[in-house]
Chains A and B, each alone.
Chain A
């Protein structure tokens, strides 16, 4: 029997996906395990694999189209079956202009599209959508722009004046639950959702550029949600120190002598941070409410800027790896991130994060903690500056501003200061890391 193929969550945080490319043509058969399409998720491009052998009867969501998890993207079944009854009216309406849409491969059966019903005519019967898979859960028949939501979430949304269409569901199947509505409400009023101009940057009659309203990508939405949650929920405080970067620069120069590919400064900082965490393990922990998780493995994330938003590839178990190994992993992960090919396991779960804006000439800055970590190190550029030596004489050095952002629920001021002092001393005398 024909059934709808639903957008599924291809990563733990994915709530919607965009079809990057269909790999199977309408009318073609495919085998279980073969790739049906590539889906651009919140953070990466993922393969959508077939769960069983079938024929792709009808593509409901064309390339470039976006669907929430749980929404139909295609109809599959046996060769020759009629997909018509399983094509939802909303999906038909969402199909792009005829010039772009492929000609329908099969005649459509008359359906229940409400727009065809005459005013005053009885509401056409909605055809129940058979749920795909063994779960058998009923899919809500709400308009597709509304994500599924719990009754309490709807009641709280009414009370707080939150538009559920803006909510990202963290429940099963993307269900919006109470906490999602409260998170959204905490972010303040959302801009009015208007139709997006099909021309993009429209030009007003007077010839001046008009305002543009851009759709939020899945990735941008995740960045917005995660960082808002972190900033509003975790009480942040910041500690600042300057470190003499001279000895570390010198060490790096020595280490790179004769190496075909020089080791990056970031790899050294990652390693020295790991060594500082070994001496202060409470930094590598997570607030869990009733408990605090102190991690055994020191997994450090490095914020990497991409044209459409940042991502944080993670090097695992840095305490047990040398600087060269860390550098090798980092450059492989960064290359993958640039190709949007990072797997969730490669960017999730950092217990500590480093953000380095030194290459942009930023002298110093503060960063928002990257959950589930409880601390983030913001590094500025290593710039020459005058300084007063211990004996009162004045000299110059290359100093790097370091700002440690801490979650006060886990790390107190003095505890953060002790960690930062250790890190500064390791950067100023890297040999101490060997002790």
Chain B
């Protein structure tokens, strides 16, 4: 078992899939000569050449559309967005073309494409570059949406995404690229649509995904010190979503705290809270809680920036409220 970074895990997945299937190619801003804005594609241009690792102009709608067309024509593109903030410009190609093509062609066309890049706030990037947009993509039928929180899941899910015959939006995170974790040296896939219990517990279920999962684990460790055993569930896959895992866990614990760094209105987190309220109604001893990003554009001031995001302290407080042990 090797300990590698989230960045290295993504690079290994890309490398293995490009070696495995000649139809797989990567394109995006600075993915080639510069080895990637966040060095995820490091070494791939040298290894696979400019036909399979293509630098594009700064024109998200254009190169995303090229990717969709290439996928329809039979290739397996991986389109890197420098961040999901910039992908807003490409939304029409994703929502109106990639997501609809199989349905509107009566199954004649498929769009095996992966759109990937960092999502969510990093630091000191202000409102326009600090958005968590998982909810935007998860809203759309026809898309699959993945948000791994560990290097092993980043590796296994990216490989599954590239092999999938439908468009997959892949959410990474700038502040997680350097996080480390164990990744088996033998090749493996992580199935799309399966949540993972990253910490077992009996008193409350904390549901999260992507970077806030790390805060949830921190909160769970702190709660354990006061005798509260929180189960932490990593959704990993936001669409399709592993409802069975949710219901199975909350049926045992009777309490649920959902953590999502997106804005709270109409978010993945609020949808999960709805599912739990509906699917576990008779098992709930407290209302389902949602710890979300605050309902404001991200402040530039760093103190406010941190205060606007979910934190271990906020999660811990929400758990105590759900347990009627508020202090």
Residue ranges of A at the interface with B (Cβ–Cβ < 8 Å): 150-155, 170-172, 177-179, 288-291
Supply 14 further A-B pairs (C-beta < 8 A) apart from A150-B284, A290-B227, A291-B226: A151-B283, A152-B282, A152-B284, A152-B285, A153-B285, A154-B282, A155-B282, A155-B283, A171-B324, A177-B285, A177-B324, A178-B285, A290-B225, A290-B226
CA distance A289 to B225 in the complex (A): 10
User: B225, B254, B281: which has the most chain A beta carbons within 10 Å?
Assistant: B254
16 CB < 8 A contacts A-B: A150-B284, A150-B285, A151-B281, A151-B282, A151-B283, A151-B285, A152-B283, A152-B285, A170-B324, A171-B286, A177-B324, A179-B324, A288-B227, A290-B225, A291-B226, A291-B227
User: A151, A153, A177, A288: which has the most chain B beta carbons within 10 Å?
Assistant: A151
> A286: shortest Cβ distance to chain B, in Å?
14
Q: Which residues of B (272-288) have their CB < 8 Å from a CB of A?
A: 281-286
Instruction: Check A152–B254 contact: CB distance below 8 A.
Output: yes
A290 to chain B: closest residue by CB = B227
B225 contacts across to A, CB distance below 8 A: 290
CA distance A334 to B123 in the complex (A): 60
A154 contacts across to B, CB distance below 8 A: 282
A-B CB proximity, top 5 nearest: A290-B227, A152-B285, A289-B227, A178-B285, A155-B282
A177 contacts across to B, CB distance below 8 A: 285-286, 324
A150 contacts across to B, CB distance below 8 A: 284-286
A181 to chain B: closest residue by CB = B285
Q: Chain B, interface size: which category?
A: 10 to 19
Number of A-B contacts defined by CB within 8 Å: 36
CA distance A370 to B100 in the complex (A): 67
CA distance A219 to B227 in the complex (A): 32
CA distance A179 to B323 in the complex (A): 10
B252-292 Cβ-contact flags toward A at 8 Å (1 or 0): 00100000000000000000000000000111111000000
CA distance A172 to B286 in the complex (A): 10
> B164: shortest Cβ distance to chain A, in Å?
38
A289 to chain B: closest residue by CB = B227
CA distance A74 to B58 in the complex (A): 66
> A174: shortest Cβ distance to chain B, in Å?
12
CA distance A155 to B280 in the complex (A): 12
> A204: shortest Cβ distance to chain B, in Å?
45
B226 contacts across to A, CB distance below 8 A: 289-291
B285 to chain A: closest residue by CB = A152
> B156: shortest Cβ distance to chain A, in Å?
36
CA distance A31 to B286 in the complex (A): 36
Instruction: Check B324–A151 contact: CB distance below 8 A.
Output: no
> B244: shortest Cβ distance to chain A, in Å?
20
CA distance A296 to B286 in the complex (A): 34
User: B226, B281, B282: which has the most chain A beta carbons within 10 Å?
Assistant: B282
CA distance A50 to B281 in the complex (A): 37
A179 contacts across to B, CB distance below 8 A: 324
CA distance A261 to B228 in the complex (A): 52
Q: Which residues of B (58-81) have their CB < 8 Å from a CB of A?
A: none
A290 contacts across to B, CB distance below 8 A: 225-228
A153 contacts across to B, CB distance below 8 A: 285
CA distance A155 to B254 in the complex (A): 11
Instruction: Check A151–B284 contact: CB distance below 8 A.
Output: yes
B277-314 Cβ-contact flags toward A at 8 Å (1 or 0): 00001111110000000000000000000000000000
B227 contacts across to A, CB distance below 8 A: 288-291
> A315: shortest Cβ distance to chain B, in Å?
26
CA distance A171 to B284 in the complex (A): 13
CA distance A178 to B284 in the complex (A): 9
CA distance A339 to B184 in the complex (A): 73
B281 contacts across to A, CB distance below 8 A: 151
B286 to chain A: closest residue by CB = A150
A178 contacts across to B, CB distance below 8 A: 254, 285
> B324: shortest Cβ distance to chain A, in Å?
5
> A184: shortest Cβ distance to chain B, in Å?
15
CA distance A152 to B276 in the complex (A): 13
> B288: shortest Cβ distance to chain A, in Å?
11
B284 to chain A: closest residue by CB = A151
B227 to chain A: closest residue by CB = A290
CA distance A291 to B325 in the complex (A): 15
> A229: shortest Cβ distance to chain B, in Å?
15
CA distance A178 to B226 in the complex (A): 20
> A290: shortest Cβ distance to chain B, in Å?
3
A288 contacts across to B, CB distance below 8 A: 227
A177 to chain B: closest residue by CB = B285
> B273: shortest Cβ distance to chain A, in Å?
15
> B249: shortest Cβ distance to chain A, in Å?
14
B326 to chain A: closest residue by CB = A172
CA distance A155 to B228 in the complex (A): 23
> A98: shortest Cβ distance to chain B, in Å?
42
> A435: shortest Cβ distance to chain B, in Å?
39
